[in-house]
C-alpha cells in the first residue's frame, strides 16, 4: 500500500500567509465532511464566536471527488454553526470541488480575518491571496464574471458569497458556479466575517487523482454505473429533476408539503398545479449538471416577472416549496424570481423562506405591525412585497435587518411571544414537507446535528413506498416504506445518518448514491472504491466506523459547545397538535408519545442515553472513541 497524504492549504487571513501541509488525516477521515468535522473538533475552542476571527472554516473535497465515479462533484464546508454555536456542515455540487483537486489542493483551512476584502486563487498546488475590492458588494454572477476576466481563464470554477454573506446575514450561504448552494449554518456569513469573497480553482489544472489499483477501480465503477443506469428513481430525477420529484406536491402533485409556515401540509390543488415541473415546461431553456453526473437534475428557466426577464438555473424542490406553498404564492414567475434572487445574493432558500413565513404569520395575527415592517404588507400570497424583502434581508435594510438574524433571533428582537410561530429545530429554521405524515423522514429532520434539514438522516424509503419485502431485505424492517408507521424508524434514521456522513465525506452526490436508489445503499461500494484508490484493505466495519465516529464527534460538539440535549431533538409543537386539513393524509399528525419511542430507539441505536439523549462515556470508549469521551469530560 502506498501511503497517501492529502494536500492541505492553511490560509491565515490575518497575517496574509499560506502554509501548505501534507495530511494523513485527509484520507483517514475520507476527506469532505469527515475531515472538516475532525479539524473543527481538534482546533476550534469552546468560547469562540462563529463570526469571530478566531473561528475556522474548512472547505474540503472528498477522497472520491474528481474521479470518474458518478456524481463525484461534492465539496463540504464545515465550521461552527452561527445559529447555535454547535457544528455545521454544508455540501455543494457543481464543478468547483473537482477543480480544487485538479489544482492540487484537497482542502482549505481558513483562519483569521483579512483587513480588506480578498479572494483566493488556487493554482497548481499554491494558494494566492488576491484583492477583492473590485468584487465586494457584487452579486454572485457579477463576481464570477469579474474574477474570470481578471484571471483571464474561462475554465476557472468559483465558490463565492454574495452581499448577504458580506453583511453577515445569518442564513447566508456559499454559491458554487452561480447555482449550487452550500447552504447551512451560516457558512456564507462566516466567510463574510473573514472578508473572504470567493475561492477560484482551475478545472484544467495538471493534477490527476491517483488510483492505486486501476483495474479493480474500473470493475467496481462499471458495476456501480450499471445499477445507476437501471435505476427508476435516477431516471425520474433525470426526467423532471427535484422540482418534479419533490417540489410542492411531488410527482403526483398530492404529496404533503409545507403550507403557510407549516400550519398545514395540504395545499389547494389548483394552486399547486401552477408551480409543478410540468407547468414550467414552456419556460425551460435547458438542463444543467454537476461534474461527471449522468442525471442533470437542474432546470434552466427563462420567464417574465413584473416586466423583467428572469433567467437562471436551479429550482430544486426546496425553492419551489419555500416560495410557493410555504408563502401561499401560486404565481410561477414569482417563485422563480425569489429563487434567482437568493442565488444572486447568496441566501439559503430554506432559512429565507421560513423566516419570512414566520413574519407573515405574525403580521396576519397582528404581532408584527406596519411600523415593524416599514409599511410592507406581509400577507400570504403577496409575492411583490415578499420578494422585495429578499433584497432587504441581503443588504440588512429596514425590516430585512431584523429578518437577517434568522427566525429565532428575529423573534427575540420582536418579542410579543412571536417565538410560538417560529418553525425551527436547534435554532435553525425549517422549510420542509411531510413532517406530520412520514415518520422516519420527520425524525431525521428533528435529530439533524446541524439543525433541521432532511439531507442529514431522513430516508427516502417512505416516499418511495417500498414493499414490506424490500424493507425487510434491505433494512430488516418491513415497515420502512410505510410513511405513517412508527415501527423501527428510529433504527432506520440512525443507519441513514451514518451512511450520509460517509456520502458527505467521500464527496459524491446523494442522488448518485443509496438515498434514491436503494440498490446502492451498501457501504461495500464505498469500501471497494476507497481500497482501489488508496491500496488500503479497509473492511465494511472499519468504513462504517468512520461514519459513526463523525456522528459522535458532531454530537459531542453540540453537547459541549451548544448545550443541546434531548429537548432539542423535537419537532415544532404545531406538527404534533395541528392535523392535516384535507387530502390523502387528512387528520394525520405526529403523535408525541410515538415520536418519543422512535427517538429513544434512535438513541439506543447509537448507544446514547434514552432519557437525556447524551452520550455514555463507557460506550464511547468501548467503540474506540476515547478522545470523544475525554472531550466530554474535560470541558465542563
Q: What is the pLDDT of residue 206?
A: 87
Q: Which helix (H) or strand (E) holds 216?
A: helix 214-229
**241-428 topology per CATH:** 1.10.569
Q: Does residue 398 carry a pLDDT above 90?
A: yes
Q: Does residue 1 carry a pLDDT above 60?
A: no
What's the chain's average pLDDT? 96
Q: What is the pLDDT of residue 550?
A: 98
- CB within 8 Å of 598: residues ≥ 6 apart: 439, 440, 443, 486, 489, 490, 493
Percent with pLDDT over 70 in the chain: 99
Q: pLDDT tens-digit profile of 266-310?
A: 999 999 999 999 999 999 999 999 999 999 999 999 999 999 999
Q: What angle do CA 197, 203, 209 make, to 5 degrees?
A: 115
Q: How far is CA 579 from the centre of its chain?
A: 28
Q: What is the pLDDT of residue 92?
A: 97
Domain(s) of CATH 1.10.599.10: residues in the chain: 439-516+539-634
Do 452 and 350 meet the contact criterion of CB atoms below 8 Å apart?
yes
Q: Residue 577, Cβ neighbours under 10 Å: how many?
A: 10
Q: Which helix (H) or strand (E) holds 229?
A: helix 214-229
Per DSSP, the three-state class of 156 is strand
- CB within 8 Å of 152: residues ≥ 6 apart: none
Q: Does residue 251 carry a pLDDT above 90?
A: no
* Integer Cα distance of 633 and 631 in angstroms: 6
Do 312 and 394 meet the contact criterion of CB atoms below 8 Å apart?
no
Closest residue by Cα to residue 502 from 76, 24, 4: 76
Residue recorded with cell 404529496? 255
Q: Does residue 314 carry a pLDDT above 70?
A: yes
Homologous superfamily (CATH) of 6-202 is Aldehyde ferredoxin oxidoreductase, N-terminal domain (3.60.9.10)
Domain(s) of CATH 1.10.569.10: residues in the chain: 241-428
Do 109 and 42 meet the contact criterion of CB atoms below 8 Å apart?
no
Q: What is the pLDDT of residue 2?
A: 63
Residue recorded with cell 432539542? 568
Kind of pairing between the strands at 107-111 and 6-12: parallel
* Integer Cα distance of 243 and 256 in angstroms: 15
Kind of pairing between the strands at 196-202 and 180-182: unpaired
SS3 letters across 536-550: CCCCHHHHHHHHHHH
Cα atoms in the 13 Å half-sphere on the side-chain side of 260: 21
Q: How far is CA 384 from the centre of its chain?
A: 28
Q: pLDDT tens-digit profile of 580-595?
A: 999 999 999 999 999 9
Cα atoms in the 13 Å half-sphere on the side-chain side of 221: 18
Q: What is the pLDDT of residue 6?
A: 97
Domain(s) of CATH 3.60.9.10: residues in the chain: 6-202
Closest residue by Cα to residue 329 from 398, 257, 436, 392: 257
Q: Contacts for 235-242 with beta carbons within 8 Å, 24 or more apart? A: 237/295, 237/297, 237/511, 237/516, 238/294, 238/295, 238/296, 238/297, 240/277, 240/278, 241/277, 241/287, 241/297, 241/298, 241/299, 241/315, 241/316, 242/297, 242/316, 242/317
Percent with pLDDT over 90 in the chain: 94
Q: What is the pLDDT of residue 244?
A: 87
Q: How far is CA 545 from the centre of its chain?
A: 23
**439-516+539-634 topology per CATH:** 1.10.599
Q: pLDDT tens-digit profile of 517-560?
A: 999 999 999 999 999 999 999 999 999 999 999 999 999 999 99
Q: pLDDT tens-digit profile of 440-498?
A: 999 999 999 999 999 999 999 999 999 999 999 999 999 999 999 999 999 999 999 99
Amino acid at each position: 500500500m502506498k501511503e497517501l497524504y492529502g494536500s492541505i492549504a492553511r490560509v491565515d487571513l490575518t497575517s496574509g500567509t499560506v502554509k501548505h501541509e501534507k495530511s494523513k488525516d485527509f484520507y483517514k477521515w475520507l476527506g469532505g465532511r469527515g475531515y472538516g468535522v475532525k479539524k473543527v473538533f481538534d482546533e476550534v475552542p469552546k468560547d469562540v464566536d462563529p463570526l469571530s476571527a478566531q473561528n475556522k472554516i474548512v472547505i474540503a473535497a472528498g477522497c472520491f471527488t474528481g474521479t470518474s465515479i458518478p456524481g463525484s462533484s461534492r465539496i463540504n464546508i464545515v465550521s461552527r454553526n452561527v445559529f447555535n454555536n454547535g457544528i455545521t456542515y454544508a455540501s455543494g455540487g457543481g464543478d468547483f470541488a473537482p477543480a480544487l483537486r485538479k489544482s492540487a489542493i484537497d482542502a482549505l483551512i481558513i483562519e483569521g480575518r483579512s483587513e480588506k476584502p480578498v479572494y483566493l486563487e488556487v493554482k497548481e498546488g499554491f494558494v494566492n491571496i488576491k484583492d477583492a475590492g473590485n468584487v465586494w458588494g457584487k452579486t454572485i454572477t457579477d463576481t464570477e464574471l469579474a474574477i474570470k476576466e481578471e484571471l483571464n481563464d474561462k475554465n476557472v470554477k468559483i465558490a463565492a458569497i454574495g452581499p448577504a454573506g458580506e453583511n453577515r446575514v445569518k442564513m447566508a450561504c456559499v454559491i458554487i458556479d452561480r447555482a449550487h448552494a452550500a447552504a447551512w449554518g451560516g457558512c456564507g456569513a462566516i466567510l463574510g466575517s473573514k472578508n473572504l469573497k470567493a475561492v477560484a480553482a482551475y478545472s484544467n489544472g495538471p493534477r490527476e487523482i491517483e488510483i492505486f489499483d486501476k483495474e479493480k477501480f474500473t470493475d467496481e465503477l462499471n458495476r456501480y454505473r450499471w445499477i445507476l443506469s437501471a435505476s427508476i428513481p435516477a431516471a425520474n430525477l433525470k426526467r423532471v429533476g427535484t422540482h418534479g420529484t419533490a417540489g410542492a406536491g411531488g410527482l403526483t402533485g398530492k404529496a404533503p408539503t409545507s403550507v403557510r409556515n407549516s400550519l398545514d401540509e395540504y395545499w389547494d390543488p389548483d394552486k399547486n398545479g401552477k408551480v409543478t415541473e410540468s407547468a414550467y415546461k414552456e419556460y425551460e431553456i435547458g438542463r444543467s449538471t454537476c461534474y461527471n453526473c449522468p442525471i442533470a437534475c437542474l432546470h434552466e428557466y427563462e420567464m417574465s416577472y413584473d416586466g423583467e426577464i428572469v433567467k437562471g438555473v436551479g429550482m430544486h424542490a426546496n425553492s419551489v416549496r419555500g416560495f410557493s406553498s410555504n408563502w401561499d404564492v401560486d404565481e410561477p414567475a414569482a417563485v422563480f424570481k425569489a429563487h434567482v434572487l437568493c442565488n444572486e445574493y447568496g441566501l439559503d432558500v430554506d432559512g429565507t423562506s421560513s423566516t419570512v413565513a414566520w413574519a407573515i404569520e405574525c403580521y396576519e395575527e397582528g404581532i408584527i405591525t406596519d411600523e415593524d415592517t416599514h409599511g410592507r404588507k406581509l400577507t400570504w400570497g403577496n409575492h411583490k412585497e415578499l420578494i422585495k424583502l429578499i433584497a432587504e434581508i441581503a443588504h440588512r435594510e429596514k425590516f430585512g435587518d431584523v429578518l437577517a438574524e434568522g427566525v429565532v433571533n428575529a423573534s427575540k428582537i420582536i418579542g410579543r411571544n412571536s417565538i410560538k410561530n417560529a418553525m425551527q429545530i436547534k435554532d435553525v429554521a425549517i422549510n420542509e414537507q411531510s413532517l406530520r405524515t412520514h415518520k422516519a423522514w420527520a425524525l431525521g429532520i428533528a435529530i439533524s446535528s446541524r439543525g433541521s434539514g432532511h439531507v442529514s438522516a431522513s430516508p427516502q424509503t417512505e416516499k418511495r413506498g417500498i414493499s414490506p419485502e424490500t424493507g425487510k431485505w434491505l433494512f430488516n424492517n418491513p415497515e420502512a416504506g410505510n410513511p405513517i408507521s412508527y415501527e423501527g424508524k428510529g433504527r432506520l434514521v440512525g443507519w441513514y445518518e451514518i451512511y450520509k456522513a460517509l456520502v458527505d465525506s467521500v464527496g459524491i452526490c446523494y442522488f448518485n448514491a443509496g438515498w434514491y436508489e436503494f440498490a446502492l445503499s451498501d457501504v461495500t461500494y464505498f469500501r471497494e472504491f476507497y481500497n482501489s484508490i488508496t491500496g488500503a484493505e479497509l473492511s465494511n466495519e472499519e468504513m462504517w466506523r468512520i461514519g459513526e465516529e463523525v456522528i459522535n464527534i458532531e454530537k459531542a460538539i453540540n453537547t459541549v459547545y451548544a448545550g443541546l440535549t434531548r429537548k432539542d431533538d423535537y419537532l415544532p409543537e404545531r406538527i404534533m397538535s395541528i392535523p392535516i386539513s384535507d387530502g390523502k393524509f387528512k387528520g394525520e399528525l405526529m403523535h408525541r408519545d410515538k415520536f418519543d419511542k422512535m427517538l429513544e430507539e434512535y438513541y439506543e441505536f447509537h448507544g446514547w442515553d434514552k432519557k437525556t439523549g447524551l452520550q455514555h462515556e463507557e460506550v464511547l470508549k468501548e467503540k474506540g472513541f476515547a478522545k470523544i469521551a475525554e472531550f466530554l469530560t474535560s470541558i465542563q
